[in-house]
Structure 1
Amino acid sequence: MKVVLLSVGKTDEDFYVRAIEMFKKRLSHYIPFELDFVPDVKNRKNLSEKEQKQLEGEAILNRIQPGDHVVLLDDKGKQYSSMEFSAFIEKRSHSVPKRLVFVVGGPYGFADQVYDRANEKLSLSRMTFTHQMVRLVFVEQLYRAMTILNGEPYHHE
Structure 2
Amino acid sequence: MTIKLLAIGKTDNKQLQALIEDYQKRLGFYIKFDFEIIPDLKKVKNLSEDQQKQKEGELILAKLNPTDVLILLDENGKQYDSVGFSEYLQKHMNSGVKQVVFVIGGPYGFSDEVYNKANGKISLSKMTFSHQMIRLFMIEQLYRAFTILKNEPYHHR
* TM norm structure 2: 0.98
> In structure 2, the residue corresponding to 1:36 is in which secondary structure?
strand
Runs (4+) off by over 2 Å: none
Give the match for residue 14 of structure 2: 14
Residue 39 of structure 1, CA deviation: 1.1
Give the match for residue 118 of structure 2: 118
Aligned residue identity for 1:97: V
Aligned residue identity for 2:137: V
Aligned residue identity for 2:46: N
Mapping of 1:69-88 within 5 angstroms? Answer: 69-88=69-88
Aligned-partner Cα distance in 2 for 1:67–1:57? 18
Residue 97 of structure 1, CA deviation: 2.2
Give the match for residue 92 of structure 2: 92
Count of aligned pairs between the two proteins? 157
Residue 96 of structure 1, CA deviation: 4.3
Give the match for residue 25 of structure 2: 25
Identity of aligned residues (%): 55
Q: Which runs of 5+ in 2 are unaligned?
A: none
Residue 87 of structure 1, CA deviation: 0.3
* TM norm structure 1: 0.98
> In structure 1, the residue corresponding to 2:37 is in which secondary structure?
strand
Q: CA RMSD in A?
A: 0.7
Residue 95 of structure 1, CA deviation: 1.4
Aligned-partner Cα distance in 2 for 1:44–1:99? 31
> In structure 1, the residue corresponding to 2:5 is in which secondary structure?
strand
Give the match for residue 143 of structure 2: 143
Q: Could you list the per-position Cα deviations for residues 77-132 of structure 1 after superposition, in whole angstroms to 9, with x for gaps in the alignment?
A: 00000000000011111114211000000000000000000000000000000001
Q: Which runs of 5+ in 1 are unaligned?
A: none
Aligned residue identity for 1:128: T
Aligned-partner Cα distance in 1 for 2:39–2:95? 30
